[in-house]
């Protein structure tokens, strides 16, 4: 469904206008086999702990989500009104697949799940998020994470 | 999303990602990406479908084992998954709200506010039951009454008290609008005899058949006529989805 040429207007034009940078440098980092990897989720769904600061605008800020968070304590304050939220309202794994990752760790498909995950608010200019995500890279290394799965909304 | 992958990889963190809009991912060319055929808001597919979510997650994680890239793989379009809501004419779904007749002598805006209050009162027990049973609500910031009072006050031109410190009126209205929709959804799906709506059916009902939808449209119109720039932007883009008039 999410191919621009199949989207109805005015959504198609709206999405075409979102910032979309190009990169000359293409880094490629390899790692151990999947069953040894420690995996963190990086979301752009505007997620955060209940009680944490809501997302207020497209400033590139992010929130820290502890790995032991429960579904009842994770909320979404993304500013956009143009995507479905009823999936998340029924089952947080539709947006933040922490239960699925924990199952994969329990059955040995991946090594482990990170102690911390992170969320930005998508639709933000990527340049505004660069400083934050580079900081997060340091936190991920401190957490011995060697695989990040990036999940949009 | 793809830009974040470039930055992380540049810092030495291997990444894989889900892509919802293929054209953007083709342009940004992150190291590893899995395009999925689901509607915006559902990157892992369907709620309460762990098998599908697991397939999506594994398909994305397996890209980490590729020898070289950039890679953009496609999750099968025909994987036995139901078509996304926006692709099809949504099934008929109804959540009738039995409202008492409006009082005589009310103006149109008073009738709307009365209908809104009656809707909230009618749905509240179902929302409470839903919360008790599921142990979870997606209302992010406000209680249901705070949400409806804030939006009703603003729509009717009364002094609007922002219920949380250090929150601007524009942000408070936007968050209240999302919480109001979550309240309606959670209440509606708790009612017996009400099938689970897809997103298109829920939106059709909320925006066309409820007083709440009309209230949010009134809030939008009022915001767009404010002097405050943040309120004008909120009204223009952040309360009512594109395509809803």
Report yes or no: B70 and B29 within 8 Å, Cβ to Cβ: yes
The band of B26, judged by pLDDT with boundaries at 50, 70 and 90, is very high
Tell me what pLDDT residue B90 has: 47
The pLDDT tens digits of the residues spanning A72-118 come to 999 999 999 999 999 999 999 999 999 999 999 999 999 999 999 99
Above 60 in pLDDT, residue B80? no
Position A121 in a domain: yes
Neighbours of B243 (CB within 10 A): 13
Residue A30: inside a domain:
no
**Average pLDDT for chain B:** 90
How many domains does chain A fold into? 1
Angstrom CA distances, A127 to A20, A123, A138, B1, B4, stand at 10, 11, 18, 12, 9
Residue B115: what are its φ and ψ, rounded to 5°?
A: -65, -40
Look at residue A18 and give its three-state secondary structure. coil
Whose CA is closest to B180, among A152, A153, A81, A71?
A: A81
Nearest to B38 by CA among B30, B28, B49: B49
**What is the domain extent for residue A53?**
7-16+37-151
Helix A126-142 / helix B2-10 crossing angle, nearest 10 deg? 50
* Beta-carbon separation of A84 and B181 below 8 A: no
Of A21, A147, A152, the CB nearest to B64: A147
Its pTM stands at 0.92
| Residue A98 within a domain | yes
Q: Which two tokens stand for residue B60?
A: 């994305």
In 3-state terms, what secondary structure has residue A97? coil
Say which residues have a Cβ less than 8 Å from residue B28's Cβ, sequence separation at least 6: A20, A21, A22, A23, B2, B3, B6
Closest CA to B11 of A22, A39, A134: A134
Tell me which chain B residue has its CA closest to the CA of residue A145.
B13
Q: Percent of chain B, pLDDT > 90?
A: 76
Sequence-ordered list of residues with C-beta below 8 angstroms from that of B75, at least 6 positions apart, any chain:
B34, B35, B36, B37, B55, B56, B59
Asked if B238 and A8 come within 8 Å (Cβ–Cβ), the reply is: no
- Top residue of A47, A51, A94, A137 to mutate, by most chain B CBs within 10 Å, is A94
Which residues in chain A have their CB less than 8 angstroms from residue B178's CB? 76-77, 81, 85
Q: In angstroms, what is the C-alpha Rg of chain B? A: 21
Shortest Cα distance from A43 to chain B (angstroms)? 8
Residue A137 lies in a domain: yes
Is residue A24 in a domain?
A: no
Indicate whether A102 belongs to any domain: yes
Contact A140 B8 (CB under 8 A): yes
Residue A2 maps to a domain: no
ipTM score here? 0.94
Interchain CB distance below 8 Å, B42 and A110:
no
Residues of A in contact with B41 (CB under 8 A): 83-88, 94-95, 153
Lowest mean pLDDT among B93-102, B111-120, B187-196, B217-226: B93-102
Instruction: Give the number of beta-carbon pairs within 8 Å between A and B.
Output: 263
Query: What is the pLDDT at residue B86?
Result: 45
Question: How much is the average pLDDT of A15-37?
Answer: 88
Q: What residues of chain B lie within 8 A of the CB of A20, using their CB?
A: 24, 27-28
Question: Taking a C-beta distance cutoff of 8 angstroms, is the pair A85, A94 a contact?
Answer: no
CB B54 within 8 A of CB B86: no
Residue A121 is classified by DSSP as: B
A64 min Cα distance to partner chain B (Å): 16
Quote the minimal CA–CA distance from B208 to chain A in Å: 16
Residues of A in contact with B175 (CB under 8 A): 54, 77
Calculate what percentage of chain A has a pLDDT beyond 70: 97
Q: Where are the domains of chain B?
A: 2-83, 108-238
Of A15, A94, A101, the CB nearest to B47: A94
Any domain includes A65: yes
Cβ separation B14–A89 shorter than 8 A: no
DSSP state of B231: H
A31 vs B contacts (CB less than 8 Å): 14, 64
Each residue of B109-149: pLDDT tens digit? 889 999 999 999 999 999 999 999 999 999 999 999 999 99
């Amino acid at each position: 469904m999410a191919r621009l040429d199949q989207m109805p207007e005015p959504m198609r034009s709206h999405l075409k206008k979102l910032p979309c940078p190009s990169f000359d440098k293409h880094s490629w980092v390899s790692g151990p086999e999947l069953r040894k990897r420690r995996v963190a989720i990086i979301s752009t769904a505007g997620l955060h702990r209940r009680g944490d600061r809501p997302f207020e605008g497209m400033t590139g800020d992010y929130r820290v989500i502890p790995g032991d968070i429960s579904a009842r304590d994770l909320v979404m304050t993304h500013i956009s009104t143009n995507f479905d939220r009823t999936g998340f309202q029924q089952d947080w794994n539709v947006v933040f697949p922490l239960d699925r990752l924990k199952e994969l760790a329990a059955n040995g498909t991946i090594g482990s799940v990170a102690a911390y995950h992170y969320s930005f608010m998508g639709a933000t200019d990527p340049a505004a998020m660069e400083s934050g995500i580079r900081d997060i890279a340091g936190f991920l290394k401190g957490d011995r994470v060697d695989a990040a799965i990036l999940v949009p909304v | 999303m793809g830009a974040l992958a470039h930055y992380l990889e540049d810092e030495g963190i291997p990444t894989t990602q889900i892509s919802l809009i293929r054209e953007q991912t083709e342009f940004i060319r992150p190291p590893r990406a899995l395009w999925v055929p689901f509607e915006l808001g559902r990157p892992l597919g369907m709620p309460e479908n762990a098998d599908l979510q697991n397939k999506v997650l594994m398909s994305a994680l397996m890209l980490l084992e590729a020898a070289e890239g950039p890679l953009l793989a496609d999750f099968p379009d025909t994987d036995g998954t139901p078509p996304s809501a926006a692709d099809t004419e949504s099934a008929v779904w109804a959540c009738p709200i039995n409202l008492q007749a409006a009082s005589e002598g009310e103006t149109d805006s008073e009738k709307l506010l009365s209908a809104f209050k009656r809707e909230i009162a009618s749905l509240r027990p179902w929302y409470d039951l839903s919360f008790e049973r599921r142990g979870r609500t997606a209302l992010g910031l406000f209680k249901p009454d705070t949400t409806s009072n804030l939006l009703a006050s603003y729509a009717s031109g009364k002094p609007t008290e922002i219920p949380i410190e250090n929150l601007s009126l524009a942000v408070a209205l936007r968050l209240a609008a999302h919480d109001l929709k979550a309240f309606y959804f959670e209440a509606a799906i708790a009612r017996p005899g009400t099938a689970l709506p897809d997103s298109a059916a829920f939106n059709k009902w909320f925006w066309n058949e409820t007083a709440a939808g009309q209230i949010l449209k009134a809030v939008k119109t009022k915001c767009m006529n404010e002097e405050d720039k943040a309120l004008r932007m909120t009204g223009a883009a952040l309360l009512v989805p594109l395509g809803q008039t």
